[in-house]
Amino acid sequence: MDKKTVRDVDVTGKRVFVRADLNVPLDDGRITDDTRIRASLPTIVYLLERGASVVLASHLGRPKGKVNDALRLKPVADRLSQLLGRPVRMTGDALGPGVQVAVDKLRPGDLLMLENLRFHAEEEANGEEFSKSLAGLADVYVDDAFGSAHRAHASTEGITHFLPSVAGLLMEREVDALSRLLERPPKPFHAIIGGAKVTGKLEVLEALLSRCQAILVGGGMANTFLAAKGHALGKSLVETDQIDNAQRIMSEARRKRVRFMVPTDVVIAPQIHYRAQTQVVGIDAVPKEMMVVDIGPHTITAYTDHLAKAKTVFWNGPMGVFEVKQFAEGTNAIARFLADQTAKGGITVVGGGDSVAAVEQLGVADRMTHVSTGGGASLEFLEGKTLPGIAALDDCQAAA
């Protein structure tokens, strides 16, 4: 990448403000997926081993500028403590006299975690004074929060105006892996795009049409494309306001000679419930009282047969309602297949929270070329957009 990284600065004896993305899913205060915490470890350990004192900051959830006890970072600090094998002290706030006292006591090799940044409305508003106050806690800024790089917030963009600012090791890996997809990916380059809705995926689909040789669609968003082709889908989620866009995307794919694949058979159920009875039908045979919950076996075979021809694959979004076990086979089959393809030398990049959760649950995440911690950020990166959190970092040619 063309930005300075943590390797380019001397951190010994310095206080380093590390913006990580520790926004993990919680269930009644229990972390259900610690992927983002583990992904942040290399940068944290790198700094501590080199005698830096680390002020670690993140957001959690959407507290909308107000203190929300359910979104405190203590579970994250506890898990980080387990992974590091050392206590992780926390502050009661992200800023304030007590925070400054705690920071002033830090010694080389110490680690301190701030409370949820988004308890302050100024964080998302990118307030200048808030940014300056955060910067006052440290000598160097390290951005390792790729998942928040598409947001110009105080802790991702504003703070860079007041401190030397470099990328962390995770940020570097993310940018390098995704840049390979934008620049010269080995071809054929195929994309698998799933998830619930077409809304939010239009721009990345349009961008991929200029780079990919095939796009395979699954999940709830496939229903909208199927509806655009004239299929009746019972009670399934269909974005009727996106029908015209779906038709336009498919027309553009034909014009650019990009293979655009949609399901030919589907798994249906009367409701989304773990006890629901399922059956497999063709896309022309979905009863009015049923809904599509996954891609069917013929579609799985067609998709994997086509993916076998690819040298590079980008996957974002599950193939069905994978959170329910009997609706997860499409997603799981794709995950297992991509893991095998990667072992044979293929390049596989997985992006998006649900896709990442799926490969983690199956235990195949470490068999992929790269598993991105950024959902929206990875999509915007592939759309060719400038991500504020990356653009704000010091350029490699800049003076130290």
End-to-end Cα distance, the chain: 17
- Closest to 14 measured CA to CA, from 144, 103, 145: 103
Structure tokens at 48: 């501590």
Q: Could you give the CA distance from residue 218 to residue 226 in angstroms, rounded to a whole number?
A: 10
CA 205 to chain centroid: 17
Distances in whole angstroms, Cα of residue 380 to Cα of each of 68, 123, 375: 29, 21, 9
CA 21 to chain centroid: 10
Q: Could you give the CA distance from residue 170 to residue 174 in angstroms, rounded to a whole number?
A: 6
The DSSP bridge partners found for residue 280 are: 267
Structure tokens at 383: 């759309």
Query: Residues 6 or more apart from 117 whose CB is under 8 A from it?
Result: 57, 58, 59, 94, 123, 153, 154, 155
DSSP string, 234-298: TT----GGGHHHHHHHHHHHHHTT-EEE--SEEEEESSS-TT---EEEETT---TT-EEEEE-HH
Using alpha carbons only, how large is the chain's radius of gyration in Å? 22
Q: Where are the alpha helices (DSSP H) in the chain?
A: 35-49, 74-84, 97-104, 121-124, 128-135, 169-182, 202-208, 220-228, 243-255, 297-307, 329-343, 353-362, 376-382, 388-391
Structure tokens at 144: 């390792």
Residues designated catalytic: 36, 197, 353, 376
Amino acid at 227: A
